[in-house]
């Protein structure tokens, strides 16, 4: 009986070693060599070499001198260890109240212009690092006022950080919030209050 089971056991151990260990390690090494930044999580470092974020995960910018990301339902907000949506249905009062509150807050920036959907709705993961160009431009007046800039200056930075659809036709144009906020800090830092 052992001689009948032996080929199956040897095959299982061999393929487990090849496909469960060898192949994943080879692919990890190959991808790490070809795309080192992406394999490491697309981390962004400041001038001192400190990690300040990732191009792939949103951060909760709340200060008025920064672009704000989409609302997040991930944990207590922008928590990569608790990614996910709110799972609230369209008729849920809690969701409706949150959207109304976010829309009222955005109305100050909008100045009568329509509020983009991504300004008041969460993404599926709650960690989407990008917003629509419409959402970004809607916030430029507020950002400019708190940095002592013209809205056109902020608009130029937003335009420089706007990416088109992938391959020219997949998805929508998008603006990476962290990239814009870093560009603003590098070119037009906000004076820190003394005290």
Q: What angle do CA 142, 123, 57 make, to 5 degrees?
A: 75
* Cα angle value 90/177/35 (rounded, 5°): 110
Confidence of residue 103 (pLDDT cuts 50, 70, 90): confident
With contact defined as beta carbons under 8 Å apart, do 132 and 118 qualify? yes
Can you give the pTM of this predicted structure? 0.77
| Helix (H) or strand (E) segment spanning residue 29 | helix 23-34
pLDDT of residue 60: 85
pLDDT computed for residue 192 by the predictor: 62
pLDDT band at residue 193 under the 50/70/90 scheme: low
The token duo for 94 is 């809690």
Model confidence pLDDT, tens digit, residues 45-96: 887 888 888 888 888 888 999 999 988 887 777 877 777 777 778 888 888 8
Q: Which residue has the higher pLDDT, 156 or 104?
A: 156
Query: Of the given ranges (119-123, 132-136, 188-192), which has the lowest mean pLDDT?
Result: 188-192
Dist. CA 116–CA 118, nearest whole Å: 6
Task: Quote the CA–CA distance of 149 and 164 in Å, as a whole number.
Answer: 26
Crossing angle for the helix pair 133-147 and 177-187, to the nearest 10 degrees: 30
Whether pLDDT at 112 is above 90: no
CB 119 within 8 Å of CB 142: no
Model confidence pLDDT, tens digit, residues 126-170: 788 999 999 999 999 999 999 999 999 999 999 999 999 888 889
Domain parsing of the chain, residue ranges: 1-40, 42-187
Which pLDDT tens digit goes with each residue over 11-33? 999 999 999 999 999 999 998 89
> Which string of DSSP letters, residue by residue, matches the chain?
-HHHHHHHHHHHHHHIIIIIIIHHHHHHHHHHHH-HHHHTT-EEE-TTS-EEEETTB-----STTS-------STTTT-GGG-------TT-HHHHHHHHHHHHHHHHHHTTSPPPGGGTS--SSS---EE-HHHHHHHHHHHHHHHT--HHHHHHHHHHTEE--BTTTBS--EEEHHHHHHHHHHHSPPPPPP-
Give the mean model confidence (pLDDT) for residues 113-133: 87
């Amino acid at each position: 009986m052992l001689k009948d089971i032996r080929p199956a056991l040897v095959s299982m151990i061999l393929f487990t070693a090849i496909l469960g260990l060898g192949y994943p390690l080879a692919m990890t090494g190959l991808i790490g060599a070809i795309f080192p930044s992406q394999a490491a999580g697309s981390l962004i470092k400041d001038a001192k070499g400190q990690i300040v974020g990732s191009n792939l995960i949103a951060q909760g910018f709340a200060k008025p001198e920064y672009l704000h990301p989409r609302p997040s339902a991930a944990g207590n907000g922008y928590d990569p260890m608790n990614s996910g949506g709110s799972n609230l249905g369209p008729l849920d009062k809690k969701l409706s109240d949150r959207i109304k509150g976010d829309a009222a807050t955005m109305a100050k920036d909008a100045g009568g212009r329509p509020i983009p959907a991504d300004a008041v709705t969460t993404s599926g993961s709650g960690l989407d690092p990008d917003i629509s160009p419409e959402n970004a431009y809607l916030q430029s007046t507020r950002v400019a006022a708190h940095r002592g800039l013209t809205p056109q200056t902020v608009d130029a930075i937003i335009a420089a950080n706007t990416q088109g659809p992938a391959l020219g036709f997949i998805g929508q144009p998008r603006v990476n919030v962290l990239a814009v906020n870093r560009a603003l800090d590098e070119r037009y830092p906000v004076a820190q209050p003394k005290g």
